[in-house]
Copies of this chain bind each other. A is one copy, B any other.
Amino acid sequence: MKQQTKISEAVVRRLPLYLQALNELSRGEVQTVSSQALGRKLDLNPAQIRKDLAYFGEFGRKGIGYDVSYLISKIRHILKLDRGINVALVGAGNLGQALCNYNRYSRDNMKIVAVFDDHPDKIGMHINTMRVQPMEELKATVEALQIRIGIITVPAAAAQKVADQLADAGIEGILNFAPAILKVPPSVRVHHADFTTELLSLAYYLEKDADHDDDKVVD
Protein backbone atom coordinates (compact mmCIF):
# COMPACT_ATOMS: atom_id res chain seq x y z
CA MET A 1 0.00 0.00 0.00
CA LYS A 2 1.48 3.29 -1.06
CA GLN A 3 -1.10 6.05 -0.69
CA GLN A 4 1.73 8.13 0.83
CA THR A 5 2.56 9.95 -2.38
CA LYS A 6 -0.07 12.50 -3.12
CA ILE A 7 -2.13 11.35 -6.05
CA SER A 8 -2.57 13.93 -8.77
CA GLU A 9 -6.02 15.13 -9.77
CA ALA A 10 -5.46 13.92 -13.31
CA VAL A 11 -5.07 10.38 -12.03
CA VAL A 12 -8.14 10.55 -9.80
CA ARG A 13 -10.24 11.90 -12.63
CA ARG A 14 -9.32 8.92 -14.79
CA LEU A 15 -10.45 6.37 -12.21
CA PRO A 16 -14.17 6.77 -12.97
CA LEU A 17 -13.32 6.32 -16.62
CA TYR A 18 -11.62 3.04 -15.88
CA LEU A 19 -14.57 2.02 -13.80
CA GLN A 20 -16.92 2.81 -16.62
CA ALA A 21 -14.98 0.74 -19.16
CA LEU A 22 -14.55 -2.11 -16.72
CA ASN A 23 -18.24 -2.19 -15.90
CA GLU A 24 -18.94 -2.46 -19.59
CA LEU A 25 -16.47 -5.32 -19.97
CA SER A 26 -17.97 -7.01 -16.95
CA ARG A 27 -21.43 -6.86 -18.46
CA GLY A 28 -19.92 -8.43 -21.56
CA GLU A 29 -18.66 -11.33 -19.46
CA VAL A 30 -15.03 -10.44 -20.05
CA GLN A 31 -12.87 -11.94 -17.28
CA THR A 32 -9.52 -10.32 -17.85
CA VAL A 33 -8.23 -7.20 -19.56
CA SER A 34 -4.75 -5.91 -20.40
CA SER A 35 -3.71 -2.28 -20.08
CA GLN A 36 -3.36 -2.30 -23.82
CA ALA A 37 -6.94 -3.41 -24.44
CA LEU A 38 -8.24 -0.95 -21.88
CA GLY A 39 -6.17 1.80 -23.45
CA ARG A 40 -7.62 1.08 -26.87
CA LYS A 41 -11.10 1.25 -25.43
CA LEU A 42 -10.52 4.54 -23.65
CA ASP A 43 -8.08 6.13 -26.08
CA LEU A 44 -5.41 6.23 -23.42
CA ASN A 45 -1.78 5.16 -23.28
CA PRO A 46 -1.41 1.70 -21.70
CA ALA A 47 1.62 2.80 -19.69
CA GLN A 48 -0.46 5.57 -18.19
CA ILE A 49 -3.15 3.15 -17.12
CA ARG A 50 -0.62 0.82 -15.50
CA LYS A 51 1.04 3.72 -13.76
CA ASP A 52 -2.25 5.13 -12.52
CA LEU A 53 -3.31 1.80 -11.05
CA ALA A 54 0.11 1.13 -9.56
CA TYR A 55 -0.27 4.20 -7.33
CA PHE A 56 -2.82 2.25 -5.37
CA GLY A 57 -1.43 -1.25 -5.36
CA GLU A 58 -0.47 -4.21 -7.51
CA PHE A 59 -3.74 -5.20 -9.09
CA GLY A 60 -2.52 -6.98 -12.20
CA ARG A 61 -0.75 -10.21 -13.05
CA LYS A 62 2.29 -10.17 -15.26
CA GLY A 63 1.69 -11.96 -18.53
CA ILE A 64 -2.06 -12.02 -17.87
CA GLY A 65 -3.49 -8.57 -17.27
CA TYR A 66 -6.12 -7.41 -14.80
CA ASP A 67 -9.03 -9.40 -13.48
CA VAL A 68 -12.04 -7.29 -14.40
CA SER A 69 -14.22 -7.90 -11.34
CA TYR A 70 -11.29 -7.60 -8.96
CA LEU A 71 -10.17 -4.32 -10.48
CA ILE A 72 -13.71 -2.97 -10.33
CA SER A 73 -13.91 -3.73 -6.64
CA LYS A 74 -10.52 -2.13 -6.05
CA ILE A 75 -11.34 1.07 -7.90
CA ARG A 76 -14.70 1.30 -6.20
CA HIS A 77 -12.90 1.04 -2.91
CA ILE A 78 -10.35 3.70 -3.85
CA LEU A 79 -13.16 6.05 -4.85
CA LYS A 80 -14.92 5.25 -1.57
CA LEU A 81 -17.87 3.96 -3.50
CA ASP A 82 -18.04 0.70 -1.59
CA ARG A 83 -20.34 2.41 0.85
CA GLY A 84 -23.38 4.33 -0.34
CA ILE A 85 -22.91 8.09 -0.55
CA ASN A 86 -25.88 10.37 -0.14
CA VAL A 87 -26.21 13.49 -2.23
CA ALA A 88 -28.38 16.60 -1.96
CA LEU A 89 -29.37 18.65 -4.97
CA VAL A 90 -30.11 22.36 -4.73
CA GLY A 91 -32.08 23.98 -7.53
CA ALA A 92 -35.13 22.13 -8.80
CA GLY A 93 -35.21 23.75 -12.23
CA ASN A 94 -35.01 21.91 -15.53
CA LEU A 95 -31.47 20.76 -15.08
CA GLY A 96 -31.95 19.79 -11.44
CA GLN A 97 -35.01 17.73 -12.25
CA ALA A 98 -33.19 16.02 -15.08
CA LEU A 99 -30.31 15.07 -12.81
CA CYS A 100 -32.70 13.70 -10.21
CA ASN A 101 -34.41 11.48 -12.71
CA TYR A 102 -31.24 10.47 -14.47
CA ASN A 103 -30.14 8.08 -11.79
CA ARG A 104 -27.14 6.46 -13.37
CA TYR A 105 -25.08 7.23 -10.29
CA SER A 106 -27.09 4.96 -8.04
CA ARG A 107 -25.46 2.03 -9.79
CA ASP A 108 -22.25 3.50 -8.48
CA ASN A 109 -23.55 3.81 -4.96
CA MET A 110 -24.26 7.52 -5.13
CA LYS A 111 -27.79 8.67 -4.73
CA ILE A 112 -29.61 11.97 -4.68
CA VAL A 113 -31.72 11.66 -1.57
CA ALA A 114 -32.98 15.23 -1.09
CA VAL A 115 -33.85 18.21 -3.26
CA PHE A 116 -34.00 21.83 -2.21
CA ASP A 117 -35.18 25.05 -3.74
CA ASP A 118 -35.94 28.55 -2.59
CA HIS A 119 -38.81 29.32 -4.86
CA PRO A 120 -42.36 28.89 -3.44
CA ASP A 121 -43.50 27.45 -6.79
CA LYS A 122 -41.03 24.63 -6.44
CA ILE A 123 -41.32 23.83 -2.76
CA GLY A 124 -43.59 20.87 -2.10
CA MET A 125 -43.34 19.68 -5.69
CA HIS A 126 -42.44 16.03 -6.18
CA ILE A 127 -39.52 14.71 -8.21
CA ASN A 128 -39.37 10.95 -8.26
CA THR A 129 -40.33 10.17 -4.71
CA MET A 130 -38.67 13.26 -3.28
CA ARG A 131 -40.46 16.33 -2.04
CA VAL A 132 -38.73 19.60 -2.89
CA GLN A 133 -37.78 21.11 0.45
CA PRO A 134 -37.17 24.76 1.39
CA MET A 135 -33.59 25.82 2.09
CA GLU A 136 -34.37 26.24 5.76
CA GLU A 137 -34.53 22.47 6.05
CA LEU A 138 -31.14 21.94 4.42
CA LYS A 139 -28.96 21.65 7.48
CA ALA A 140 -31.26 19.35 9.42
CA THR A 141 -31.79 17.07 6.43
CA VAL A 142 -28.08 16.89 5.64
CA GLU A 143 -27.44 15.78 9.17
CA ALA A 144 -30.36 13.37 9.36
CA LEU A 145 -29.57 11.62 6.09
CA GLN A 146 -25.77 11.85 6.45
CA ILE A 147 -25.54 13.69 3.14
CA ARG A 148 -21.94 14.31 2.14
CA ILE A 149 -22.10 15.79 -1.36
CA GLY A 150 -24.14 18.68 -2.75
CA ILE A 151 -25.04 19.41 -6.36
CA ILE A 152 -25.69 23.03 -7.30
CA THR A 153 -28.06 23.66 -10.18
CA VAL A 154 -29.22 27.17 -9.37
CA PRO A 155 -28.52 30.25 -11.54
CA ALA A 156 -25.00 31.69 -11.30
CA ALA A 157 -26.14 34.65 -9.22
CA ALA A 158 -27.43 32.38 -6.45
CA ALA A 159 -24.64 29.81 -6.54
CA GLN A 160 -22.30 31.37 -3.99
CA LYS A 161 -25.02 31.71 -1.39
CA VAL A 162 -26.02 28.10 -1.86
CA ALA A 163 -22.39 27.01 -1.59
CA ASP A 164 -22.13 28.88 1.72
CA GLN A 165 -25.22 27.13 2.99
CA LEU A 166 -23.99 23.73 1.89
CA ALA A 167 -20.61 24.32 3.52
CA ASP A 168 -22.35 25.45 6.68
CA ALA A 169 -24.46 22.31 6.68
CA GLY A 170 -21.28 20.26 6.77
CA ILE A 171 -21.17 19.02 3.20
CA GLU A 172 -17.74 17.75 2.09
CA GLY A 173 -17.96 18.07 -1.67
CA ILE A 174 -19.83 20.17 -4.20
CA LEU A 175 -20.54 19.52 -7.85
CA ASN A 176 -21.25 22.92 -9.31
CA PHE A 177 -23.22 23.31 -12.55
CA ALA A 178 -23.51 27.07 -12.28
CA PRO A 179 -21.11 29.19 -14.32
CA ALA A 180 -19.51 30.77 -11.28
CA ILE A 181 -16.30 30.33 -9.32
CA LEU A 182 -17.23 29.42 -5.77
CA LYS A 183 -15.31 30.43 -2.68
CA VAL A 184 -15.52 27.70 -0.07
CA PRO A 185 -13.63 26.72 3.07
CA PRO A 186 -10.74 24.31 2.51
CA SER A 187 -12.73 21.47 4.03
CA VAL A 188 -15.00 21.51 1.01
CA ARG A 189 -13.94 20.31 -2.41
CA VAL A 190 -15.61 21.80 -5.48
CA HIS A 191 -15.78 20.17 -8.88
CA HIS A 192 -16.92 22.15 -11.83
CA ALA A 193 -19.52 20.72 -14.18
CA ASP A 194 -20.44 23.72 -16.25
CA PHE A 195 -20.67 22.31 -19.74
CA THR A 196 -20.97 25.73 -21.39
CA THR A 197 -17.19 25.81 -21.13
CA GLU A 198 -16.98 22.61 -23.15
CA LEU A 199 -19.57 23.81 -25.61
CA LEU A 200 -17.99 27.21 -26.24
CA SER A 201 -14.48 25.82 -26.53
CA LEU A 202 -15.80 23.39 -29.11
CA ALA A 203 -16.53 26.36 -31.35
CA TYR A 204 -12.83 27.20 -31.47
CA TYR A 205 -12.17 24.03 -33.43
CA LEU A 206 -14.78 24.66 -36.11
CA GLU A 207 -13.60 25.43 -39.61
CA LYS A 208 -12.88 29.09 -40.06
CA ASP A 209 -15.77 29.95 -42.30
CA ALA A 210 -19.37 29.45 -41.26
CA ASP A 211 -19.98 28.51 -44.86
CA HIS A 212 -18.80 24.94 -45.36
CA ASP A 213 -17.91 25.50 -49.01
CA ASP A 214 -14.74 27.32 -48.10
CA ASP A 215 -12.41 25.82 -50.64
CA LYS A 216 -14.84 25.06 -53.38
CA VAL A 217 -16.51 28.40 -53.93
CA VAL A 218 -18.25 28.60 -57.27
CA ASP A 219 -19.99 31.90 -57.78
The reply to whether B201 and A105 form a contact with Cβ atoms under 8 Å apart is: no
The reply to whether B80 and A204 form a contact with Cβ atoms under 8 Å apart is: yes
**A99 CA to B192 CA, complexed, in Å:** 17
Q: Say which residue of B43, B197, B210 sits within 8 Å of A181 (CB atoms).
A: B43
Which of A90-98, A117-125, A131-139 has 4 or more CB atoms under 8 Å from chain B? A90-98
Considering only residues 74-107 of chain A, those with a C-beta below 8 Å from chain B are 78-81, 83, 85, 87, 93-95, 97-99, 101-102, 104-105
**A203 CA to B210 CA, complexed, in Å:** 42
**A93 CA to B172 CA, complexed, in Å:** 31
The distance from the CB of A56 to the nearest CB of chain B, in whole angstroms, is 11
- CB contacts (< 8 Å) of A208 on chain B: these are 80
**A168 CA to B110 CA, complexed, in Å:** 37
- Residue A48 CB within 8 A of the other chain: no
Chain A window 175-219, contacts with chain B (Cβ cutoff 8 Å), 1 for yes, 0 for no: 101010100000001011101111111111111101110000000
**A218 CA to B97 CA, complexed, in Å:** 39
Considering only residues 4-47 of chain A, those with a C-beta below 8 Å from chain B are 12-13, 15-17, 19-21, 41-43
Q: Given A94-B97, A98-B98: A108 and B196 within 8 A (CB)?
A: yes
The reply to whether B191 and A15 form a contact with Cβ atoms under 8 Å apart is: no
The reply to whether A200 and B108 form a contact with Cβ atoms under 8 Å apart is: yes
- Residue A146 CB within 8 A of the other chain: yes
Interface residues of A (CB under 8 A from B): 12-13, 15-17, 19-21, 41-43, 78-81, 83, 85, 87, 93-95, 97-99, 101-102, 104-105, 108, 110, 146, 148-149, 151, 170, 172-175, 177, 179, 181, 189, 191-193, 195-208, 210-212
